[in-house]
Structure 1
Amino acid sequence: MEYPSVRETDPAVADALEGEVERQQDTLAMIASENHVSEAVLEAQGSVLTNKYAEGYPGGRYYAGCENADQVETLAIERAKELWGADHVNVQPHSGSSANMAVYFSVLEPGDSILSLDLTHGGHLSHGHHVNFAGKLYDVTHYKVDEETGRLDYDAIVERAEDVDPDIIVSGASAYPREIDWTAIQAAADAVDAYHMADIAHITGLVAAGEHANPVGVADFVTGSTHKTIRAGRGGIVMCDEEHAKAVDSAVFPGSQGGPLMHNVAGKAVGFGEALEPEFAEYAAQVVENAEVLAETLQDHGFSLVSGGTDTHLVLADLRESHPDVTGGDAEDALQEVGIVLNANTVPGETRSAFNPSGIRAGTPALTTRGFDADAMRTVGDCIARVVSNIGDADVYAEVAADVQELCDDHPIYE
């Protein structure tokens, strides 16, 4: 993939873009929030809609000349409704965090209270970490997973809700490898007359394909990203029933954003259309199977996994027991040297710094997009284990790097 027009105008940027194409092709993207979109989504996101301001919503814009923007946004909305079964959808948020902000702005006032999953136990910054806008604007308390099982304790969440009496409970996670019981968390919200926002940023595609339970129709609000397991390009989405539609739309525009990124909305429309095809369900099922195989392979090599495995697209390994002298940062750096790109991650009961924690998080969405099956994923798991178990061994690194390159060559991204 080349960028001839960019090269003619700006060779330095072209070098970086073409270098990124090469980097993605020659490495294994295992950061759980990353994926590879189709060339159709790339074209849509790089389209002339980047030139168009379209403040407002289809049929009610504040600028003229929005007929094509209206068509694209309407397609994205209708396809999202079909994918997730939502009554109302807003596809304008620039990210999952922007989507969460819109929900908060729609029903909360500064100083109101949020109850959410602790960041070190798998939560997300926008669920109320003190350095994030949510933590600065709202009174935030957290629930945690059971450190013995690594799983959510829903009875404990109800008790926590009754103790703190929040205005909204946030469910969903960025590093929780198990299926979430949305109904149980809704029961906690009902017990204290709180709103419930389910953040499915990581599992939008798994929910759309029926591989994970759907919180739409259970929670008051459902938010998500559109680029992790759904492959519709970078962005966010909010879904709710008609009761909250006006408040959500006003919270997105003009409450927290100006003009929507219509080229990104076009990418969402194309990606959602792709997800409605039968092949997408097969893809999502393979994502989950690949994660299960990766988990089993790492366990066979002695790795300790948070919750003992996975139901989703990601595996969270706690290195403290199996590799006590290896930090998550050590593992991330070593694996990057051989072409495996994942991230260090905190684990429940974290005893190290969040900047160099005790765990590593690995996801399967991007590799599955490249066509990796269970056998290939076993090879990947073996490669990870060999490196983490032999930190600093140049010979092992060279052997694994050769294996990784062979996997990359056998599974091209853009041909």
Structure 2
Amino acid sequence: MKKDKLIFKLLDEEQQRQEEGLELIASENFASKQVMEAAGSVATNKYAEGLPGKRYYGGCQIVDEIETIAIERAKQLFNAQWANVQPHSGAQANAAVMLACLQPGDKILGFDLSHGGHLTHGSPVNFSGKLYQPFFYGVRQDTGLINYEQLKEVALRERPKMIICGASAYSRDWDYAFIRQVADEAGALVLADISHPSGLIARGLLTDPLPHCHIVTTTTHKTLRGPRGGLILLGKDFENPWGLKTPKGEVKMMSALLDAAVFPGTQGGPLEHIIAAKAVAFGEALSDSYMKYALQVKLNAQAMANAFIEKGYNIISGGTDNHLMLIDLRNKNISGKAAENALVNADITVNKNMVPYDDKSPFVTSGIRIGTAAVTTRGMKEKHMEQIVALIDDVLANPEDEHSVKKVRKHVHSLTEKFPLYK
């Protein structure tokens, strides 16, 4: 078969872009060679609808072993009682949870997307806002911190079937115990979507939601540094059915409802090559070297946040507890879109992002979101975060000055050359 030169040329260019530039998008990271090797392995050829030992296809004895290892490693990593490693993404993990626990039209209470939440937490343009009746809580305008009083007020007034916590652009830890207390009073289930900080949570560097939240979902990339995919977890105390019923009226254990909601409820055959890569990534995340990495991610984020604050940037909530920060650029007289474009020209990749109480559209935004997971994977430390902030500030101070941007790009390449991706 003739090699597809066009596609592989573009892949080479993408590898060069990743190696030469500074990747600061909070939801991105660099998977290891063995994770990528597993993701591109012969397991991509195998169809395996169902669960290990309960497949609808023959010849699954080997992928059964692979998937079982992925499940056991996920349980060990998160100290969970049960795991489903089949969701193709975090969004599909959330869709499966909602299918298992809710009926169309049920009320849900989620973290407002414009305040740092996620599309699948009730956004009107997403299935979660179309199939269910969404209500929202946000952050306090004066502090940028979660408005737990608002969460409680809305929960007790509306009595949602599910409260969703977790975020895509919130830099502080969560009070899961308080949310569970509110949920118990309101008669709601709690879904914690920990897709962003899950690697830090797994290693005990942030509050663990599993003792408090009925169901936990996450992606397997971002801080976990695995392949793109999803994961659903149950803690030790949450296997009872809570009166949830199947369409036939049967009350079943939550794990069985969630398994059925993944397949055949929301997707067909699992991606066994990606599950193999997840197994590898979970194994890596259990290692001592990963623990050192996770600690450095937090240290780098704090160093970066402090450096931005020293240069007069407004970080929502005033700092960070995890791997990311959301920066309001309105006092710098530049939009998120303009900042993103200018930084891309300097080979610094960030993403424009809405900030709480934004006065610009989602296509323009007043902010940018920045994370340290990927640059930490390269081996960078706190002093390099200060250098990166200085380079970003140089670009944003003169975004249309091509000479200045070119000078910054040269510095970026000099820095990344010292920290090669794949040695």
Q: TM above 0.5, one fold?
A: yes
Q: How far is 1:242 from its partner?
A: 3.0
Match status 1:111 vs 2:129: no
Pick which of 194-203 and 394-403 moved more.
394-403
Aligned partner letter, 2:59: G
Q: How far is 1:155 from its partner?
A: 2.4
Match status 1:305 vs 2:315: yes
Q: How far is 1:153 from its partner?
A: 2.1
For residue 355 of structure 1, the aligned residue among 353, 357, 363 is: 363
Aligned position for 1:202: 196
Q: How far is 1:96 from its partner?
A: 0.4
For residue 225 of structure 2, the aligned residue among 228, 231, 247 is: 231
Aligned partner letter, 1:339: D
The answer for unaligned runs of 5 or more in structure 2 is 241-253
SS at match of 1:50: helix
For residue 16 of structure 2, the aligned residue among 10, 14, 22 is: 22
Match status 1:214 vs 2:208: yes
SS at match of 1:223: strand
For residue 59 of structure 2, the aligned residue among 65, 79, 86 is: 65
Aligned position for 1:336: 344
Q: TM-score, normalised by structure 1?
A: 0.97
Aligned position for 2:248: none
Aligned partner letter, 1:353: S
Asked whether the 8 Å contact 2:137–2:147 carries over to 1, the reply is: no
Aligned position for 1:294: 304
Q: How far is 1:100 from its partner?
A: 0.3
Aligned position for 1:272: 282
CA shift digits 1:196-229 (9 cap, x unpaired)? 0000000110111111111012100000000000
SS at match of 2:224: coil
Cα distance in 2 for partners of 1:185, 1:335 equals: 38
Q: TM-score, normalised by structure 2?
A: 0.95
Aligned position for 1:123: 117
Aligned partner letter, 2:39: Q
Q: How far is 1:390 from its partner?
A: 1.5
Asked whether the 8 Å contact 1:158–1:187 carries over to 2, the reply is: no
**How do residues 13-162 of structure 1 correspond to structure 2 at under 5 angstroms?**
13-162=7-156
Match status 1:12 vs 2:6: yes
Cα distance in 2 for partners of 1:78, 1:395 equals: 53
Pick which of 208-217 and 352-361 moved more.
208-217
Match status 1:383 vs 2:391: yes
- Structure 1's consecutive aligned runs of 4 or more residues displaced over 6 angstroms after TM superposition are none
SS at match of 1:198: strand
Cα distance in 2 for partners of 1:185, 1:384 equals: 37
Q: How far is 1:163 from its partner?
A: 1.6
Cα distance in 1 for partners of 2:203, 2:38 equals: 23
SS at match of 1:229: helix
Aligned partner letter, 1:188: V
Cα distance in 2 for partners of 1:133, 1:153 equals: 25
Aligned position for 2:239: 242
The answer for unaligned runs of 5 or more in structure 1 is none
For residue 364 of structure 1, the aligned residue among 369, 372, 382 is: 372
Cα distance in 1 for partners of 2:261, 2:35 equals: 27
Asked whether the 8 Å contact 1:30–1:342 carries over to 2, the reply is: yes
For residue 161 of structure 2, the aligned residue among 151, 155, 167 is: 167
Aligned position for 2:292: 282
SS at match of 2:267: coil
Cα distance in 2 for partners of 1:338, 1:141 equals: 40
Q: How far is 1:336 from its partner?
A: 0.3
CA shift digits 1:79-98 (9 cap, x unpaired)? 01011111110000000000
SS at match of 1:114: strand
Aligned partner letter, 2:72: E
Aligned partner letter, 1:68: I
SS at match of 1:254: helix
Aligned position for 2:407: 399
Aligned partner letter, 1:304: N
Cα distance in 2 for partners of 1:390, 1:315 equals: 22
Q: How far is 1:128 from its partner?
A: 1.1
Match status 1:183 vs 2:193: no
Aligned position for 2:246: none
Q: Percent same amino acid at aligned positions?
A: 46
Pick which of 104-113 and 235-244 moved more.
235-244
Aligned residues: CA RMSD: 0.9
Question: How many corresponding residue pairs?
Answer: 407
